[in-house]
Amino acid sequence: MFDLTEKIRFAVVGCGRMGTRRIRTIKENKNAELVCICDSIKDIGQALSNQLECEYLADYRKVVTRRDVDCIVVSLPNKFHCETTVSALANHKHVLCEKPLARTPQEATRMVEAATKSSAYLKVGSNLRYFLNVQKARELVDRGAIGNLLFTRGWIGHSGGKQTGTWFLDPDLAGGGTFLDNGSHILDLTRWFLGEVSECIGVVATAYWPIAPLEDIGLGIFRTLEGKLAFVQSSWFEWADYMYMELYGSEGYLRIDNRNPLCQLTLGDREGAKEVFDYSLLASQSYGLELEDFIQAIREGKQPVPSGYDGMRVVQMAFGVYESSKSSRSVGLFEQEGESSSGAMRGLR
Amino acid sequence: MFDLTEKIRFAVVGCGRMGTRRIRTIKENKNAELVCICDSIKDIGQALSNQLECEYLADYRKVVTRRDVDCIVVSLPNKFHCETTVSALANHKHVLCEKPLARTPQEATRMVEAATKSSAYLKVGSNLRYFLNVQKARELVDRGAIGNLLFTRGWIGHSGGKQTGTWFLDPDLAGGGTFLDNGSHILDLTRWFLGEVSECIGVVATAYWPIAPLEDIGLGIFRTLEGKLAFVQSSWFEWADYMYMELYGSEGYLRIDNRNPLCQLTLGDREGAKEVFDYSLLASQSYGLELEDFIQAIREGKQPVPSGYDGMRVVQMAFGVYESSKSSRSVGLFEQEGESSSGAMRGLR
Amino acid sequence: MFDLTEKIRFAVVGCGRMGTRRIRTIKENKNAELVCICDSIKDIGQALSNQLECEYLADYRKVVTRRDVDCIVVSLPNKFHCETTVSALANHKHVLCEKPLARTPQEATRMVEAATKSSAYLKVGSNLRYFLNVQKARELVDRGAIGNLLFTRGWIGHSGGKQTGTWFLDPDLAGGGTFLDNGSHILDLTRWFLGEVSECIGVVATAYWPIAPLEDIGLGIFRTLEGKLAFVQSSWFEWADYMYMELYGSEGYLRIDNRNPLCQLTLGDREGAKEVFDYSLLASQSYGLELEDFIQAIREGKQPVPSGYDGMRVVQMAFGVYESSKSSRSVGLFEQEGESSSGAMRGLR
Amino acid sequence: MFDLTEKIRFAVVGCGRMGTRRIRTIKENKNAELVCICDSIKDIGQALSNQLECEYLADYRKVVTRRDVDCIVVSLPNKFHCETTVSALANHKHVLCEKPLARTPQEATRMVEAATKSSAYLKVGSNLRYFLNVQKARELVDRGAIGNLLFTRGWIGHSGGKQTGTWFLDPDLAGGGTFLDNGSHILDLTRWFLGEVSECIGVVATAYWPIAPLEDIGLGIFRTLEGKLAFVQSSWFEWADYMYMELYGSEGYLRIDNRNPLCQLTLGDREGAKEVFDYSLLASQSYGLELEDFIQAIREGKQPVPSGYDGMRVVQMAFGVYESSKSSRSVGLFEQEGESSSGAMRGLR
């Protein structure tokens, strides 16, 4: 465990939109120190390192072996998550890897295996868990405010277009479209609230943007090991972005509403809405809370949550829907890796 | 065609909750006349007929043959929709039959065939089409306010419980649970807005109320002939009843919100919400508008909409989800009756 | 004090809209018994008493002397509040008198004096204090949720018209227009939350309905003994009825919103809205809570709140604005009865 | 009149928060050219002029005489509005002077007189008129959507504190507190919508912030020449900033809601809310629209609106409330300058 007076030393690999956001958050955290940054584009990396007064390295392999780095944030395009993370973990560096954890379930599995062998921890990015209304929902669910959870439905998305010309639209770099990209968040929240999933059916399609073979809409229906159902949807023509999710329990419901410009949580009982928690005017604190959570876990020698395993499950959930969309059948999500569902997803009728 | 000065003469068969609502609406319509009512429970029927100053008959077979009746409203439990409607149509009486049109696709088909052979029309109950915000949505879609429709998602339900002890929970009388009962409305709106459906996948389950084999939750994903996707869900633990539906188009979206106590329609463009039409404080006029629509169609000698065929398609959609839930496969919805989907519901990936 | 197993025995004098509401509430309260009702219109009173299975008396003087009556609800037009209440108190009957307590400050003073001499209590109707969101506001203010109160603003009203042909539009029977009638509620809440008032300025006018000399709009600015300011407004063309009031404190604010169909309370801190308590879907319980509060006070031998004195102050506040509107000067509200303000309402500049 | 191909040449005097905002708006307008800026603090002015690539002058007297300048924006503390504006107008430069037009009615009158003698125009800043929801309200009122206007109520404010250490809290520089500062906006809108005012009563106080003799809250009741009433309030502890205003007409009402994060307009009829126009997600365009309106008026040789006279009336309205707060009497607003109201503000009772 760490001496609590020492700062956790960070390196950030990948200085795009997410990377710079992580960098800013590290600089603002009094328990964290930014040691170096890494980006394959030298001009960007160099300029940024000057500004940040930290070291710049072009090659991530030089980062993962540094003695003065404890943690590595992997903010690269999805394609590079696996190699970088595995390498960092092999060098016993803690890793915070952006979501989705990987381009494929196979890559995700390799990363989780690397974490198992490492003395360091792997945490997957899951910013929505740290939204103030999501945190409040978690607290209310935990104290039984809506009884036993029965069902969730949620969607996420944005108006697309802004990815034009980015790696998000390159199938090799991204590994999937909106359902893997944005959907990951709702998939993660679904599993976090409802429990482990066992199978799914779903459909993905390219309905609006000319980005095939990537999908711009995806819909999945999931069943948990306990038989609970969930609906997850994601799209790149969700004009009223960003996120909306409802949790139904035996005694009431919760409505998480992050449709621009809202950040609210509504608590209802069996008669309807009763209380609204409004965070719309507060500055988002999610990145700060996420980093702090990582740092605390490291200091206490505990596995950070969501873990690499959680991230892997999310990738498997997304690929379950991809497979279901191709096969027109339900897909098992709790078998040996790669094995297809036999019992399938059967209704109770 | 009718002489526009003559009233349309109605008989109502079934004097339960829906029947009495139809009776009240007929009494309020200046173009309609209530000739007689029919209910198998004599005490109820007799008392009501005294109050309404109309005739009472215990046997529907005596109703369908009356010369002084033009239209018959079938407000019976689902089990009796088929026999009564077929008999009325055979006697060339126009029929307004409550939704769902029938307990099974087979019964629904018989009813549509009977309508084909009759000189009279068959209209299926579809009260939600007459909600003021739904009517406004239809108008806005028709004038292109949100461009080309791409996708819809909608749900409906209530908090259940109120059906305890009613025929709604008797599988033989009802034919299905919440997805057939409430779901019919969203299935109808989905097809009305998006166009003809070609296949579906879905799951139904009995998650909360002890009412198996009837489901208290159902989820379906539909694809139209044009490849558009839709999500439809229904439950009997939708505490924040009643209905919510969103339509996404290439240029914006519409949000139909009938969650108690609201009746609103939000129009958004690609940047977000722009205008809200609020009908929350207006008394519901949907039953009156529905009846008037029926009467006008009859007077003009036109097929009322939604027709028996539309009602049959809705039953097929619900049963498509039931079948998919059992088989864990997608189900074709545009083949010869009874034939299973071969090409299935394939994603675009 | 009362034996807690005995019911409190009520008589209701005046069986109009409010009287019948009070009657219903008494019948629903298990600690109350309705002994008799009284109304000057025999047909109405007789029919109602048959239905209620209680006695009917045409003359209130026979009611106030009955041995089997503990409490009298005075639900008569304002003109008769004074005489009936004074007579009932003289006979040591507890009185719940509708608001406004009287037509004039002089009458109100007589009623309070009668209460002082009686062994029985006088409570004035103040239904809004029992609204669920108002009760919650009181609780939050009391626990310091918004710090020290600084200022309130509130308005009330409805769309008028419904009083056409009623005593509300007869100056002799009513004593005042909307500001005395509806305004009483906000005046009472203002004084309840902010504390005793010392002076006011204001204006009343007849702006829309042809009901002069009665006003259909009134606006008043009040100052409390502690120097706090309040704005109160009432109108009969408040189309978006019914009530809205905001409380500003040193640490935040409360927004009481009873605009149809809402019943909400918003709690904000110094950065904006934080929490909304939503009672919109709950049936109003205010009349039941008001009666129960009265009964509990009687049983415990305590002065019910709001008292006759509170009701008198509200009438004085309304007449302060009437006087200010005539004199174009501020009016003192904390002097000997009838004496005009000398020090007047001076700003701090 | 101007050659429409020529740009209007601007100088901005005063480079504080408002001045820099005006500068930015001028730079963005294709019909405007920024010639020079002026600020008494040389460091700020010099740095800014370098950045803007325009000339910098320390002394406004050198600005007003420049041949290459058509319009001068006066964004100085209130104390300097009069002298600068009068000087600019004397040199036949058009002037856009920030609100409030002046520290006192006397100064405002001098400015209006200067405009009368000048060949150039005087426009007073009135940013709220250019809010999208206010513009829509104006349009709806003009087309009779709510019938004849009867009454308005509105308030404005913010949470104060941010003025600490600024000229806003210096009585000599500012001339008044929140009611002159923020209140100006609502006073202007009130007069714009309701028509010319004739008298007022009101109170101002220093209730929360230690800023006496400046007020942090002000309340005024106004009567128009046509007898319509209005309520205007402003405070520096309006935690839920920023602005809220309602217009009541004979056929309905409008609700202008700019409480953070909203920018909405609700249109109601006599039954309640019917339509909401939502501009919350649009970037504010008010400064751009205000400048463009000024430029168009100049090009067309028309008096810009609101004019210097309008600005003067607003100052008189604010000072009417200041005077009423001191005298505890109503104050006439439509007499010879300086003469006190005799007939005063009498209610209709």
Question: Shortest CB distance from A348 goes to which of B206, B259, B271?
Answer: B206
Indicate yes or no: CB of A273 within 8 angstroms of CB of C280.
Answer: yes
Residue B175 has pLDDT above 90, yes or no: yes
Buried b (16+ CB within 10 A) or exposed e, B225-245: eeebbbbbbbbbbbbbbbbbb
pLDDT digit string, tens, across residues D324-347: 999 999 999 986 444 444 333 333
Within a 10 A sphere around the Cβ of B185, how many other Cβ atoms? Answer: 26
Indicate yes or no: CB of C344 within 8 angstroms of CB of D328.
Answer: yes
Among chain D residues, the shortest Cα distance to A280 is held by D261
pLDDT digit string, tens, across residues C68-121: 999 999 999 999 999 999 999 999 999 999 999 999 999 999 999 999 999 999
Q: Which residue has the higher pLDDT, C82 or B347?
A: C82
C342 band by pLDDT with thresholds 50, 70 and 90 = very low
User: How many contacts, defined by CB atoms under 8 Å, are there between C and D?
Assistant: 169
In angstroms, the separation between the Cα of residue C232 and the nearest Cα of chain D is: 10
The residue behind tokens 């996404």 is B248
| pLDDT (0 to 100) of residue B163 | 85
Question: In one letter, which amino acid is A293?
Answer: D
pLDDT digit string, tens, across residues A167-193: 999 999 999 999 999 999 999 999 999
Residue A46 has pLDDT above 50, yes or no: yes
Q: What mean pLDDT is predicted for residues B297-306?
A: 97
| pLDDT (0 to 100) of residue A332 | 97
B261 touches chain C (CB under 8 A): yes
Q: Quote the strand ranges of C191-292, DSSP E.
A: 197-205, 217-224, 229-235, 242-249, 252-259, 264-269, 272-278
Contact D231, D154 (CB under 8 A): yes
Residue C344 has pLDDT above 50, yes or no: no
Instruction: Note which residues in 264-283 of chain D have CB less than 8 A from chain A.
Output: 280-281
Residue D53 has pLDDT above 80, yes or no: yes
A118 band by pLDDT with thresholds 50, 70 and 90 = very high
Residue B197 has pLDDT above 70, yes or no: yes
Q: What mean pLDDT is predicted for residues A45-51?
A: 94
Measured CA to CA, the distance from residue D159 to residue D153 in angstroms comes to 20
pLDDT digit string, tens, across residues D151-179: 999 999 999 888 888 999 999 999 999 99
| pLDDT (0 to 100) of residue A138 | 98
Contact D287, D73 (CB under 8 A): no
| pLDDT (0 to 100) of residue D348 | 26
Chains touching A, CB cut-off 8 Å, 3+ pairs: B, C, D
Q: What mean pLDDT is predicted for residues D190-203?
A: 98
D52 touches chain C (CB under 8 A): no
Residue D83 has pLDDT above 90, yes or no: yes
Among chain B residues, the shortest Cα distance to D281 is held by B272
**Residue D102 to residues C260, D306, D312, D334, Cα–Cα distance (Å):** 42, 15, 8, 19
The residue behind tokens 């295996």 is A113
Q: What mean pLDDT is predicted for residues D114-143?
A: 98
Cβ-Cβ contacts under 8 Å, C281 against chain A:
271-273
**Residue D62 to residues D13, D72, D91, Cα–Cα distance (Å):** 11, 12, 11
D113 band by pLDDT with thresholds 50, 70 and 90 = very high
Chains touching D, CB cut-off 8 Å, 3+ pairs: A, B, C
Secondary structure (3-state) at B200: strand
Measured CA to CA, the distance from residue A72 to residue A22 in angstroms comes to 11
Secondary structure (3-state) at C229: strand
Among chain B residues, the shortest Cα distance to A177 is held by B349
| pLDDT (0 to 100) of residue D229 | 98
| pLDDT (0 to 100) of residue D4 | 64
In angstroms, the separation between the Cα of residue A159 and the nearest Cα of chain D is: 14
Q: What mean pLDDT is predicted for residues A58-68?
A: 96
B4 band by pLDDT with thresholds 50, 70 and 90 = low
Percent of the residues in chain C that have a pLDDT greater than 70, as a whole number: 95
Q: What mean pLDDT is predicted for residues C336-349?
A: 38
In angstroms, the separation between the Cα of residue A262 and the nearest Cα of chain D is: 9
pLDDT digit string, tens, across residues A287-335: 999 999 999 999 999 999 999 999 999 999 999 999 999 999 999 998 6
In angstroms, the separation between the Cα of residue B341 and the nearest Cα of chain D is: 45
Q: What six digits make up the tokens of A222? A: 């999931």
Residue C26 has pLDDT above 70, yes or no: yes
Cβ-Cβ contacts under 8 Å, B280 against chain C:
261
Residue A211 has pLDDT above 70, yes or no: yes
pLDDT digit string, tens, across residues B8-48: 999 999 999 999 999 999 999 999 999 999 999 999 999 99
B162 band by pLDDT with thresholds 50, 70 and 90 = confident
Nearest of A238, A229, A124, A135 to residue A179 by alpha carbon: A238
Q: Which of D133, D266, D281, D285 is the best mutation test for B, with the most CBs of B within 10 A?
A: D281
Residue B145 has pLDDT above 60, yes or no: yes
| pLDDT (0 to 100) of residue C5 | 72
C6 band by pLDDT with thresholds 50, 70 and 90 = confident
Contact D72, D81 (CB under 8 A): no
What lies within 8 Å, CB to CB, of B146 at 6+ separation is B140, B247, B248, B249, B250, B251, B252, B253, B254, B267, B269
Residue B217 has pLDDT above 60, yes or no: yes
Residue B202 has pLDDT above 60, yes or no: yes
In angstroms, the separation between the Cα of residue C277 and the nearest Cα of chain A is: 5
Measured CA to CA, the distance from residue A138 to residue A133 in angstroms comes to 9
Instruction: Note which residues in 100-159 of chain C have CB less than 8 A from chain D.
Output: 150-151, 153, 155, 159
How high is the mean pLDDT of chain B?
94
Among chain B residues, the shortest Cα distance to A154 is held by B153
Contact B240, A272 (CB under 8 A): yes
pLDDT digit string, tens, across residues A65-105: 999 999 999 999 999 999 999 999 999 999 999 999 999 99
B210 touches chain A (CB under 8 A): no
Indicate yes or no: CB of C277 within 8 angstroms of CB of A273.
Answer: no
Contact C325, C338 (CB under 8 A): no
Q: What is the model's pTM?
A: 0.93
Cβ-Cβ contacts under 8 Å, D280 against chain B:
272-273
User: How many contacts, defined by CB atoms under 8 Å, are there between A and D?
Assistant: 7
| pLDDT (0 to 100) of residue A336 | 45
Contact A64, A91 (CB under 8 A): yes
Among chain A residues, the shortest Cα distance to B269 is held by A239
Among chain B residues, the shortest Cα distance to D274 is held by B278
pLDDT digit string, tens, across residues C162-193: 888 899 999 999 999 999 999 999 999 999 99
Nearest of D46, D28, D29 to residue D37 by alpha carbon: D46
The residue behind tokens 């009101």 is D202
Secondary structure (3-state) at D39: coil
Residue A4 has pLDDT above 70, yes or no: no
What lies within 8 Å, CB to CB, of A129 at 6+ separation is A135, A138, A188, A189, A192, A290, A306
Question: Shortest CB distance from C271 goes to which of A275, A276, A281?
Answer: A281
Among chain A residues, the shortest Cα distance to C274 is held by A278
| pLDDT (0 to 100) of residue B2 | 57
| pLDDT (0 to 100) of residue B5 | 73
Measured CA to CA, the distance from residue D82 to residue D100 in angstroms comes to 11
pLDDT digit string, tens, across residues B234-264: 999 999 889 999 999 999 999 999 999 999 9
Q: Which residue has the higher pLDDT, B5 or B197?
A: B197
Residue D40 has pLDDT above 70, yes or no: yes
Q: What are phi and psi of D273, to 5 degrees?
A: -60, 135
